[in-house]
Amino acid sequence: MTQRIVLITGGSEGMGLAAAETFLAMGDQVVITGRNQEKMDKVSSRYSNIHTITSDISNRNDRTKLFAEIKKVFGHIDIFFANAGLGRFKPFTEISEDDFDFIVDVNYKGLFFSLQAALELMPDRSRIIVNASWTHHRALEGASLYSSTKAAAGYLVKALAHELSDRKINVNAISPGLINTAQFNEEMIGEKASNNHKMRIPAARFGEPQDIAGVVAFLASDQASYINGQEIIIDGGLTSVH
């Protein structure tokens, strides 16, 4: 099998790093980005065969440099896992314009223009997987800003699946439920809160980054060639009962 070039934004930890490890095990060449230099250095020291580029997708100059380096070093991108994202949860009436700009610049604007730049390097029949969220499928207290950016990402997936159909580029989304990552995990919220959450999840547990990575790898494979413009919710059944 020809070695594929895989780009993962937000790849220094959590779901992004788990996906990087999975693709690496499959023999792919993996490129990850992240804006925290210390975290990127840790990945570099642990994985000599992962190419790391410190980059903030919300920054136009960083995006330009990112894709210029990928073009110079690798020439193209076969698989793009657009994973970078962050959350800030507040009541709707307390959200400031600074909050809005901070979240939208990463979760939607950064995603939008990263995809636009990546497509210039992606050949026909390549794959795009976007990390959305279960939260935009259900009303959730304090999540109006975060979830609306993820709803926008979900629509973008459908629009691009249509627009890129002539190039046979499949575009899909994954929407994780409650996953143990550095941004959100059982230890962070405490035993009582985590147990309350588990009672609402048919699988009776939080997900792990590897649960997400396996689905991402599948969507990037030939076995998923007829899946396009879809959003796969990976939540242990949470949205089916919540």
Catalytic positions: 146
To which residue do tokens 């997900």 refer?
Answer: 207
* Sheet with 170-176, edge to edge strand ranges: 50-54, 29-34, 5-8, 79-82, 127-131, 170-176, 231-234
Distance between CA atoms of residues 228 and 128, nearest Å: 10
Ramachandran angles phi, psi of 206, nearest 5° = -80, 155
Length of the chain: 242
d(CA 59, CA 103): 13
Beta strands in 71-146 (DSSP E): 79-82, 127-131
- Burial category of 92 from C-beta neighbours within 10 Å (exposed 0-12, middle 13-18, buried 19 and up): exposed
